[in-house]
Structure 1
């Protein structure tokens, strides 16, 4: 992020204090700001023709201060059903949380004062993504749950090497970070000016696909894609508003590249997803998304997916799904991620890299595990995760995004003292098909008999209890039993 962009992002974020005084929460802040920024940015980029006359930025500015809030609320409702498809999607069910006319007038004046000339020059997309990142880093906003660190996304994209021939999907799109990074990579590694008309058409209409089931997050994603030059008209791919774990998810096209960080936890209210095409029904969201991903790849298609540790070791249906994954795909690489890089400090995560086989049996011959967790710093505000932390992993991974046999033969097993090791398929089988493989003594972890922090233990216990409760609710619901609500 350039200094100019950083400065503008800081000024935009400071406006949250004005909204806070009007009772607007952190959770609502970026959504509220998105409505206003969309109108202003359309004026700045000369794309106001998609917004009906009478409801543009200058129309809002022209209103007398006491009448402006009422006019703004009318505009939000009007744009939910008028204008371009994109406008209607961004303003679908929109409403303002602002109560005082003076608050809106201050926001309009402050947004107008920003350095829009340099913002246009630096790139509106970077400005908006900077704002989303700022919001994700603010714990009170709760936004970190859908914001994957950009350096992690960039590393996953770098080894997956997107091309113009790819159909790229993120079934848990959040604010669109993976699709934007993939777009950035393929434009940097190809000359858009040399693309044929057919390639241009394919790029615009049949390259980027995603789904997001939280409407406020969906509008942020549409805005983000638009500002990064990706056609976010739902008729041209883009990110759809819907639930991937419902029949809506079956409408996502078979893809050659899937990049995603699915939500953790169990389906709300327990019970199974409403999709009927999964071989292994479960209320565990990660296992449901994992099935969607490897079933959603074309033969020869590849995926990089962030998943929590429990996906690597859970028995029962979990083990069956892992076996099915290793049969249908070449699960060639697992990257054990450091702790503290997501919004919940205690959550331990990994990236699984796999390629769909031409046939459905025996595709995984060996699994390489890179341990970037043991003896790493505790990441957070003091120690920031950077691109450099992934450099050795990317070098060890090699140049083949598919993890083919020839490229795996070139990899070097660093032994018990190193971070990169190979485990043959039969070795994994003797572990009960558990992929939770660690060998390095982690001096940061438990130092002999020392227990982890009590708060972390309590948090992990709550996550486990919550998952167990949801499973039990699901069983009762399937048996048609009433669920007693316990007062507490």
Structure 2
């Protein structure tokens, strides 16, 4: 069995969960609670783990030795005990964990099915990568918005190859999701250090426990991230690699500065009191991406580098949006923008970009002299199940970007018929500091039949109107007028 076969077999187990009345969107959350126990057992049996991280009552051998109501009751009690574990990482992984399984025979079926998988084949590719595959399957298959926090792996791998993380650097993701960026950075470094064996013991300890830090707002997503990191050999501090908290609140302001920030902040406008509560951001905004962008600039060390996935509205939004872009180009060298193909995230209507920049200093001005824009959107195929996004789609961009992580390689402006062009800071200023720059005629431009679903268009319109209303209210407040 190859990894794809095993991922499909795991996904098929969701049929068992459905038979027990478990909602489609809860499949993976339910499955991974049990799967993690099995994978921990396999890691220990194969020698990857020196010792069990789970107590005796929560080990696979204990569960697989029970049946009927004894099994179901023991499993429910196990989840409760793990959530109260004295090990802070295990307690975090199983915080609020519970099973919705009602019939013992379904739990028995899951255990027998997991035992029937060829785990030797799975271990050859890494159990962590297998787990990643299941998360990716969930993001691609479900309609629950999971794709919003699951960035396509070919895109992540391309970004990592260009940013070039190094041993000893601190790497952060303030909107960690399932920790894809952090895990890819760790894999990149391990591949170039003989799985860290080229490093000293002190350096190896740093890589395992201090190199990576993420923050995630949603508890269930953080659980997936913590399991994912542990299965990839990333321990983090006492709270794990990914901390639970609101980056746009006080928890975010307490994050230490980092050498590298890699992130795909959540889309949309904060609602229901969920907006930024930080008082250290220069510009007030209800637009989450604009707030995250400010956080990332503040959170970078001088000389640090970042790659951030952001929707088009961040590039063209007027008012406070323009102020934040000017501030970015003052404090940082915004050297490269990659215009991404449409349809690679969960909502077909979301158009996104990757901004690559290096921070000069918090007090710097005029740091950006020119912005290079690569258009990977015009005349590209429609990506989906029939045409999956692959790493090969980024090869020409990677070649044009060059070997220097901060965009200082010799580059060629390909002109109006090419995909890669340079725009001076003066030219950007003349555009009203809009970075939504395109020049290629798109022969595949959307016609009426290709437009996003009405609900997507309506949501985008509501988000933009809400952001505009919030800014107007802020102006009235500054003038001392009631909203």
TM-score relative to the length of structure 2? 0.93
Does structure 2 retain, via aligned residues, the 8 Å contact 1:76–1:95? yes
Aligned match of 2:37: 39
Aligned match of 2:388: 384
Question: Are the structure 2 counterparts of residues 234 and 305 from structure 1 closer, same or farther at C-alpha, using a change threshold of 3 Å?
Answer: farther
Aligned with 1:249 (options 243, 249, 252): 252
State whether structure 2 residue 457 is matched by structure 1 residue 463.
no
Inter-partner Cα distance in structure 2 for 1:61 and 1:468: 55
Aligned match of 2:480: none
Aligned match of 2:420: 420
Inter-partner Cα distance in structure 2 for 1:9 and 1:454: 33
Q: Report the CA distance between 1:26 and its aligned residue.
A: 2.4
Inter-partner Cα distance in structure 2 for 1:304 and 1:443: 29
State whether structure 2 residue 23 is matched by structure 1 residue 19.
no
Does structure 2 retain, via aligned residues, the 8 Å contact 1:52–1:83? no
Greater displacement, 149-158 / 115-124:
115-124
Inter-partner Cα distance in structure 2 for 1:39 and 1:272: 37
Question: Are the structure 2 counterparts of residues 403 and 81 from structure 1 closer, same or farther at C-alpha, using a change threshold of 3 Å?
Answer: same
State whether structure 2 residue 116 is matched by structure 1 residue 113.
yes
Inter-partner Cα distance in structure 2 for 1:362 and 1:154: 31
Does structure 1 retain, via aligned residues, the 8 Å contact 2:250–2:277? yes
Aligned match of 2:264: 261
Aligned with 1:331 (options 310, 328, 334): 334
Greater displacement, 387-396 / 358-367:
358-367
State whether structure 2 residue 286 is matched by structure 1 residue 289.
no
Aligned with 1:308 (options 302, 311, 334): 311
| TM alignment of 1:124-163, pairs within 5 A | 124-163=127-166
Aligned with 2:91 (options 88, 93, 103): 88
Does structure 2 retain, via aligned residues, the 8 Å contact 1:256–1:298? yes
Kindly provide the CA deviation profile for residues 232-283 of structure 1, in whole angstroms up to 9, marking residues without a partner as x. Answer: 4445x61111111111012222011111100011113156411111010111
Question: Are the structure 2 counterparts of residues 64 and 378 from structure 1 closer, same or farther at C-alpha, using a change threshold of 3 Å?
Answer: closer
Aligned match of 2:78: 75
Inter-partner Cα distance in structure 1 for 2:443 and 2:448: 12
Kindly provide the CA deviation profile for residues 381-428 of structure 1, in whole angstroms up to 9, marking residues without a partner as x. Answer: 111111111001000001110123xx2xx2100000000000000110
Secondary structure in structure 1 of the residue aligned to 2:305: strand
Q: Report the CA distance between 1:114 and its aligned residue.
A: 1.3
Inter-partner Cα distance in structure 2 for 1:339 and 1:219: 29
Inter-partner Cα distance in structure 2 for 1:238 and 1:119: 24
Greater displacement, 382-391 / 53-62:
53-62
Inter-partner Cα distance in structure 2 for 1:110 and 1:181: 29
Inter-partner Cα distance in structure 1 for 2:462 and 2:143: 24
Inter-partner Cα distance in structure 2 for 1:140 and 1:348: 18
Aligned match of 1:486: none
Inter-partner Cα distance in structure 1 for 2:200 and 2:452: 57
Aligned match of 1:393: 397
State whether structure 2 residue 31 is matched by structure 1 residue 28.
no
Inter-partner Cα distance in structure 1 for 2:119 and 2:473: 57
Query: C-alpha root-mean-square deviation of aligned residues, in Å?
Result: 2.2
Aligned match of 1:299: 302
Aligned match of 1:354: 357
Unpaired stretches in structure 2, ≥5 consecutive residues: 478-482
Greater displacement, 134-143 / 323-332:
134-143
Does structure 1 retain, via aligned residues, the 8 Å contact 2:334–2:357? yes
Secondary structure in structure 1 of the residue aligned to 2:143: helix
Inter-partner Cα distance in structure 2 for 1:281 and 1:67: 55
State whether structure 2 residue 191 is matched by structure 1 residue 188.
yes
State whether structure 2 residue 8 is matched by structure 1 residue 10.
yes
Question: Are the structure 2 counterparts of residues 100 and 473 from structure 1 closer, same or farther at C-alpha, using a change threshold of 3 Å?
Answer: farther
Inter-partner Cα distance in structure 1 for 2:125 and 2:455: 45
Kindly provide the CA deviation profile for residues 298-348 of structure 1, in whole angstroms up to 9, marking residues without a partner as x. Answer: 011000000000000000100000000000000000000000111101110
Q: Report the CA distance between 1:476 and its aligned residue.
A: 7.6
Kindly provide the CA deviation profile for residues 31-55 of structure 1, in whole angstroms up to 9, marking residues without a partner as x. Answer: 1111111211222222563222223
Aligned match of 2:434: 434
Unpaired stretches in structure 1, ≥5 consecutive residues: 484-488
Inter-partner Cα distance in structure 2 for 1:37 and 1:185: 26
Inter-partner Cα distance in structure 2 for 1:333 and 1:470: 27
Kindly provide the CA deviation profile for residues 325-383 of structure 1, in whole angstroms up to 9, marking residues without a partner as x. Answer: 00000000000000011110111000000000145111000000000000111111111
Does structure 2 retain, via aligned residues, the 8 Å contact 1:246–1:275? yes
Does structure 1 retain, via aligned residues, the 8 Å contact 2:342–2:382? yes
Q: Report the CA distance between 1:100 and its aligned residue.
A: 1.6
Does structure 1 retain, via aligned residues, the 8 Å contact 2:154–2:389? yes
Give the number of aligned pairs: 472
Q: Report the CA distance between 1:121 and its aligned residue.
A: 2.7
Inter-partner Cα distance in structure 2 for 1:475 and 1:21: 51
Inter-partner Cα distance in structure 2 for 1:227 and 1:475: 47
Does structure 1 retain, via aligned residues, the 8 Å contact 2:159–2:307? yes
